[in-house]
Amino acid sequence: MDKALRAERCPVCLGRRFRAFRKGTLEAAALRADQVKITDREYGATWDLSLCLDCRHLFADPYPSPEFLLSLYGRVEDPLYDQEAVGRSRNFESILDRLDKLRPARGELFDVGAATGILGDLARRRGWKVDGIEPSLWAVRRAEAKYGLALRRGDFLEAELPENRYQAVTMVDLIEHTPRPREAVGRAFRILAPGGALVIVTPNIHSLAARAAGRRWWHLRPGHLAYFSSRSLRRLLAEAGFRILSWRRYAWTFSLHYLLSRGRAFAGLLESARFASFLKGVRIKLALGDSFEVYAAKEQDPAR
């Protein structure tokens, strides 16, 4: 099986006018499951990137095949992600607060890339009926054991799902991981009920933080195959049939322990169990503005 494919069209607008943008350091044949977990810290490690001259989307070219990616994500284990459940819960609570204001009638919510079920559990506590999908066997088992969530395991694009069903679909830090963002957003449109809302959080390649950090920007990492501009993300949503309801800059909350663990210089400091426990209790909100947080409604048939 080929593990790398060349792009023939832009994965967002299907345009054929794109050029080489940056030479990367990664090769599909050498990619490992631990490099695509949520908490990897290979900042600056990227694929060869191409830039679409029509919509300004930046994407991996060549890119790992979807089948190879699914096999890798299926083997991911990421205990550090689950250890940050409190901080991540604060991130997801803010998303759910805004979703509830935009769509106060709670119904069925589908979480794409559900990880260990943190967002799904919070949504269920608010009265949502939760469904979701996650490729990692470890994460699916963790969601069942910790939250009693029975997530689907597999590929969102290949799963058998009802159409016109859900009142909300969440894609938090998801579409930058797929070489097929157009298909992913189109699938979300089809499974949403009329008037349903799609929530997307994804890195902003043109943010001030991205420019300041340069090649060490923390979103430049092996698991990310796509980097959206405002222009390319708006086009992606519009062509799928969505109307944007809200467009924000995303803010993260993490423990000080997790933030220090991102740098190898603090490894010795974190070895003390007592000090590590203290650091895990200190919450830091990072309003870096380097990710889009977008809410969009299904309102029309894109085929018209």
What CATH code is carried by the domain that includes residue 72? 3.40.50.150
Based on its alpha-carbon atoms, the radius of gyration of the chain, rounded to whole angstroms, reads 19
pLDDT value at position 1?
Answer: 44
Q: Which of 213, 194, 202, 140 is nearest to 174 (CA)?
A: 202
- What span, in angstroms and rounded, lies between the C-alpha atoms of 160 and 228? 28
- What span, in angstroms and rounded, lies between the C-alpha atoms of 187 and 58? 22
Residue 268, domain member (yes or no): no
Q: Which of 80, 92, 102 is nearest to 122 (CA)?
A: 92
Task: Using 50 as the pLDDT threshold, list the residues of the chain that sit under it.
Answer: 1, 304
Instruction: Please list, in sequence order, all residues whose beta carbon lies within 8 angstroms of the beta carbon of residue 277, skipping any fewer than 6 positions away.
Output: none
Q: What 8-state DSSP symbol labels residue 204?
A: B
3-state secondary structure 110-152: EEECCCCCHHHHHHHHCCCEEEEEECCHHHHHHHHHHHCCCCE
- What span, in angstroms and rounded, lies between the C-alpha atoms of 153 and 74? 9
How many domains does one find in the chain?
1
pLDDT value at position 130?
Answer: 98
Residue 58, domain member (yes or no): no
The answer to whether 134 touches 140, Cβ cutoff 8 Å, is: yes
Segment (H or E) for 226: strand 226-227
Q: Which domain holds residue 180?
A: 66-251+287-298
pLDDT value at position 304?
Answer: 44
The answer to whether 202 touches 250, Cβ cutoff 8 Å, is: no
Residue 229, domain member (yes or no): yes
Residue 189, domain member (yes or no): yes
pLDDT value at position 87?
Answer: 83
Tens of pLDDT, residue by residue over 264-296, are 555 555 555 555 565 556 666 766 788 999 999
Residue 23, domain member (yes or no): no
pLDDT value at position 142?
Answer: 97
Residue 201, domain member (yes or no): yes
pTM of the model: 0.91
At which residue do the structure tokens 């769509």 appear? 103
